[in-house]
Structure 1
Amino acid sequence: MAYYVATNGHLHLLHQLHRLSPTDYFAAVATQLYRWAPSYSLLADLTVADWFLRLHGYATSSLLIGITIFTTTNIFATSGGQYYLYIGRLVSMPTASATISGQL
């Protein structure tokens, strides 16, 4: 298993797990998350995603589609046309048809 560790702004790959303590791993991940800033293309990606969904009628008419995942930007859209930033692990999300009919 490999872990990426941030040192001096560069990423280095460590191949051995015993070299990296959990504290060091947490510090490296926190550093990378702190340095991350949304790109200016995020707004353009949202615009393209909204256009795509509306062109195919997913945002207004399809109750069977619960989630559309855009893996390049880690953003997904619900069938209601709302966008959410994907952080962590997405397990499941009910569709609009299941919510309306009370099948949850």
Structure 2
Amino acid sequence: MAKLQGRHNQCSAKQLETLQGFRDDFLAALGASASSGSRGLFVNSCFAHCQSETQDIWFAPASPALGDRVNHPLPSSCALEFTPVLRIADAVGDWFYGRSGFQKTDCPYPCDSTCYTN
């Protein structure tokens, strides 16, 4: 797998199945403890392990996002309709300061178009 790091579109079906199996095992390990209101969850389907380790990524407009708030392209132009976006920093901040109990789990790979790839 290491030789395919950063090139997930070149993974074989078996390799992708292994990665999805890891996701399933991880979610199962969270179990009932995940539903506690005192715990925040931001489980996305991005492959990068440390996708938000630096503030450049953490606060970037293109940082990973989850939830119902996303940017949608306008049908008649190249501009984006900017609706509120819940990025990693916002979700963790809202949870940490008690503003909301954000708990969201992404759909399986490759559904998340906000994954940081650089």
- Say whether the fold is shared (TM-score over 0.5): no
Q: Determine which structure has greater relative contact order: mean sequence separation of CA pairs < 8 Å that are 6+ residues apart, divided by chain length.
A: 2
Hey, which of these two has a bigger chunk of strand by percent? Answer: 1
Which structure has the larger Rg over C-alpha atoms? Answer: 1
Query: Under a length normalisation based on structure 2, what TM-score does the superposition of the two structures give?
Result: 0.29
Query: Under a length normalisation based on structure 1, what TM-score does the superposition of the two structures give?
Result: 0.31
